Amino acid sequence: MERFFEKLTAALQQGSFVKLTLSKPVAKSDELRNVYIKPVRIKDRLMYSFTYRYDRRDETLNYDMEQFVSLIESLLNDRFLSASLFTVTEDITLLISRKGKPTLICKAVKEYREADLEHDHVKNRLIDPRNIWWFRLGLTTREGKVLADMQHKFKQICKYVEIVDSLIRNTSFDDELRIADMGAGKGYLTFALYEHLSKHYNKRFILEGVEVREDIVLKVNEIIRDCQMPDFDFIQSAIEDYKSQRIDVLIALHACNTATDDAIIKGIENNAKLIICAPCCHKQIRAEMEKSGVSDCMTRYGIFLERQAVMITDTIRALIMEYFGYKTQIMEFIEIEHTPKNVLLVGRKTVVEPDKELIIRQIQELKKRYGIQRHYLERIFELMNLSY
């Protein structure tokens, strides 16, 4: 044990310390499973960041060098049986038996490495993969590393948060913001938005994920409770059956086929100030086009017919949103394998009175040109008792 602390102290004094991990709790019932320590520079001062990883939460605290050594001594004497010290030139492992006998294993590293002192390295990310809920959701390892097969999903989530954050910041809301995420699925994007807003949004917000599958809702709500995330929950409901006191921001990312239209209807009915959709699976309009037999030299190719259906579906959606007073825009969400899914349809409520006659005429012309009897979203006119 003494030799280990000699090496630790030398690494700290020489500036060769990279990181330290404490593991194997003495008591199996101990909720504290690991402690991860790395150097950070905070306001030009060298500190050491301790991440305490419990069963259901993480806690991060920063200490100076003197506190660092004292804390490690206490933790190794009372709570942990293993320590892995990494320096720029050496890997050092301390193993302590149940009887208190220490074993020290030292191994030279093949390549020189440096300590990462950037305190903001993770903070600059829009979400922090070290948070325990990402492990519980299956996105990361327990150590907070994004799984190889989830790298693209993580990138997608970060891009989503960046876009939604910008849209929210550029929209005026009351003191309390209510957000509904329709067809939230496993909750990756919903959790990301909650995490980001918790850190960076100055007003109170309430976030609800709406998902029809009971098993997912039960699992996600358990994570929310365990991680103590207030004003956040999942509701088991189909989108069209969802009821809320108020919706300020409605989000529907990849709600399949006409579920996107159900989400838009909910947003319009609740007079949401912001509607954000990433439409998916434009089957309804494609079926209408195929049934009518309307075709040209492009749409006789299946892939072009699909793309045409996507453009028509989302154009009519945008026009109907404009009819109800929304300024719309269509932007790229993020490049992904299935091209139709990279469109983000955004509607922001305005006080400008739309030219409703022109909008209806444009919708009818599109429908006639492509042999479309009815766009599913047109049912909103019936639901709101409007002549059309």
* Residue-averaged pLDDT of the chain: 87
Mean pLDDT check: name the lowest of 95-104, 156-165, 276-285: 276-285
Whole-number pLDDT of residue 109: 73
Helix, strand or coil for residue 343? strand
Q: What is the pLDDT of residues 44-83, one digit of tens each?
A: 688 899 999 988 788 889 998 889 999 999 999 999 999 9
Helix, strand, or coil here: 266? helix
CA distance 150 to 199: 24
Is 70 exceeded by the pLDDT of residue 111?
A: no
Task: Tell me the mean pLDDT in the region 330-338.
Answer: 59
Concatenated DSSP letters of 10-33: HHHHHT-EEEEEEEEESSTT-SEE
347-359 average pLDDT score: 95
List of domains in the chain: 2-121 (no CATH), 135-383 (3.40.50.150)
Please name the helix (run of DSSP H) or strand (run of DSSP E) that holds residue 192, with its range, or none: helix 188-200
* Whether the predicted pLDDT of 342 surpasses 90: no
* pLDDT (average), residues 190-217: 93
Decide if 246 contacts 267 (C-beta within 8 A). Answer: no
Cα–chain center distance at 332: 17
**Distance, CA of 177 to CA of 179 (rounded, Å):** 6
| Predicted pLDDT at 114 | 55
142 vs 211: CA distance, rounded Å: 26
Q: Residue 165 — very low, low, confident or very high, per pLDDT cuts 50/70/90?
A: confident
pLDDT digits (tens, 9 = 90+) for 21-30: 999 999 988 8
Per-residue pLDDT at 336: 44
